[in-house]
C-alpha cells in the first residue's frame, strides 16, 4: 500500500494560488521560536575561512600524488557545497516569494552563506595544492588524469540533479520541499565531524570543526522546519519526505558512501580510482573516512533521529546498504532525484 501511495505521489501536481507570488509586502512574523534561535546562533558562531593556517598546505610539504589526492577530495566535496549554494539560495527566494515566516527566510539565507564559506575552503585548498584543479588543470600522470576525469564526470551528473531540482518548485508543495531539508544535514554533520577528528593537519581540523558547527546549526533549523510543517501535513506528504530521504542518500552517496547507480552514471573504474585517491589524501593528513566508517556513521546518524521522525509519523526509508530498516522506497535507474544538498 505504501508503495502504491508513493507511486501515485510521483505524478503528483500541486495547485498554486492564481496571484503571482511576490516578495512584497513581506512580513516579520515569528511563529517558530526555535528557528529564530537557530538564526540568532549564526551571529555568535561566525568564522572566516581566511583565518585558517593555510601555510600548512604549501605545495612542497607533499608529493605530487598526495597534493592531487587532497585536491580531488576537496573538489568532490565542492560539488555538494555548490549545489548547497544553489539550492538554499533558491529556497530563500521561494520562502520570500511565498511569504513564509521571517526566520525561515533569514535562516535559509544564513545557510546559503555557510555553503559559500564551505565552497571557499575547497577552492583555497585546491588552489594551494594543485593550482587550477579541477577547472583549468592539465593532468600529467595517470593518477591526475583519473582524478580530473572523476570530478568532471561527477559535475556532469550534477547538472542532471540541478535541472530536476529547479523543476521541483512547480511540482511539489512548498512545505514538502522545506520539510525534507533536514536529511542532508544529518549526513553533513556526520561526515565533517569525522573528517575533523581524523585529520592530522590543523588547517583541516579547524576548517572541519567550524563546518561541523555550521552543519549542527543547519540540522537544528531544518528539524525545526520539519517539526513545524509536518504537524499539519497529510499522510501522503509525509511519505514523500520518506522518499526524499532515500533520494538524499542516493544523491550524497559519492561523498558519504559509494556512488549509487540509481542516479550516478559513472565509468566502471570510477570507484577504484576514487578509493585510491581517498587513501592518498588520508595519507597526506586529510581525515577522509573509510568506506566502513562512512556506512557505520550513516547508520548511527539516521538511527539517532528515528524516534523524532516516527513521533511526527514520518517513516524512515529502508537503506539496506548501511543496514537501516524501514519503508521500501523503489527508485529506478534514471529516476529524477529530488534531494537537498549539504
Ligand atoms: Fe555545506
Ligand atoms: Fe548544511
The pTM for the full model equals 0.94
In this structure, what are the phi and psi dihedrals at residue 62, rounded to the nearest 5 degrees? -135, 155
Which ligand does the CA of 214 lie closest to? 2
Cα gap 2→239, rounded to integer Å: 8
Determine the distance separating the centroid of ligand 2 and the alpha carbon of 34, expressed in angstroms: 17
Confidence of residue 334 (pLDDT cuts 50, 70, 90): confident
The CATH code of domain 63-322 reads 1.20.1260
List the domain boundaries for the chain.
63-322
Confidence of residue 175 (pLDDT cuts 50, 70, 90): confident
Neighbours of 146 (CB within 10 A): 21
Determine the distance separating the centroid of ligand 1 and the alpha carbon of 273, expressed in angstroms: 24
Residue 267, Cα to own-chain centre: how many angstroms? 23
Determine the distance separating the centroid of ligand 2 and the alpha carbon of 111, expressed in angstroms: 7
User: pLDDT tens-digit profile of 73-117?
Assistant: 999 999 999 999 999 999 999 999 999 999 999 999 999 999 999
**Residue scoring higher pLDDT (123 or 336):** 123
| Mean pLDDT, the chain, integer | 93
Amino acid at each position: 500500500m505504501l508503495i502504491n501511495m508513493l507511486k501515485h505521489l510521483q505524478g503528483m501536481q500541486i495547485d498554486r494560488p492564481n496571484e503571482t507570488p511576490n516578495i512584497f509586502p513581506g512580513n516579520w512574523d515569528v511563529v517558530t521560536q526555535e528557528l529564530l534561535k537557530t538564526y540568532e546562533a549564526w551571529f555568535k558562531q561566525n568564522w572566516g575561512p581566511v583565518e585558517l593556517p593555510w601555510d600548512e598546505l604549501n605545495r612542497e610539504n607533499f608529493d605530487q600524488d598526495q597534493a592531487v589526492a587532497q585536491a580531488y577530495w576537496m573538489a568532490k566535496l565542492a560539488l555538494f557545497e555548490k549545489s548547497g549554494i544553489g539550492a538554499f539560495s533558491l529556497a530563500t527566494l521561494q520562502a520570500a516569494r511565498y511569504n513564509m515566516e521571517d526566520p525561515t527566510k533569514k535562516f535559509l539565507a544564513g545557510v546559503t552563506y555557510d555553503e559559500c564559506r564551505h565552497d571557499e575552503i575547497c577552492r583555497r585548498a585546491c588552489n594551494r595544492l594543485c593550482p587550477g584543479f579541477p577547472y583549468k588543470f592539465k593532468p600529467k600522470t595517470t593518477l591526475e588524469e583519473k582524478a580530473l576525469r572523476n570530478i568532471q564526470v561527477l559535475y556532469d551528473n550534477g547538472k542532471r540533479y540541478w535541472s530536476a531540482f529547479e523543476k521541483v518548485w512547480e511540482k511539489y508543495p512548498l512545505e514538502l520541499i522545506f520539510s525534507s531539508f533536514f536529511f542532508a544535514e544529518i549526513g553533513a554533520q556526520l561526515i565533517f565531524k569525522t573528517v575533523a577528528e581524523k585529520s592530522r593537519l590543523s588547517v583541516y581540523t579547524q576548517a572541519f570543526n567550524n563546518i561541523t558547527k555550521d552543519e549542527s546549526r543547519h540540522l537544528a533549523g531544518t528539524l525545526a522546519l520539519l517539526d513545524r510543517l509536518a504537524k499539519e501535513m497529510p499522510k501522503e506528504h509525509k511519505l514523500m519526505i520518506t522518499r526524499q530521504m532515500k533520494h538524499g542518500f542516493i544523491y550524497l552517496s559519492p561523498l558519504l558512501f559509494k556512488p549509487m547507480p540509481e542516479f550516478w552514471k559513472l565509468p566502471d573504474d570510477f570507484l577504484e580510482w576514487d578509493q585510491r585517491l581517498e587513501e592518498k589524501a588520508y595519507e597526506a593528513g586529510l581525515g577522509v573516512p573509510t568506506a566502513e566508517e562512512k556506512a557505520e556513521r550513516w547508520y548511527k546518524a539516521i538511527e539517532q533521529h528515528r524516534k523524532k521522525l516516527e513521533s511526527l509519523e514520518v517513516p524512515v526509508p529502508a537503506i539496506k546498504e548501511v543496514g537501516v530498516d524501514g519503508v521500501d522506497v523503489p527508485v529506478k535507474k534514471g529516476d529524477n532525484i529530488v534531494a537537498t544538498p549539504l
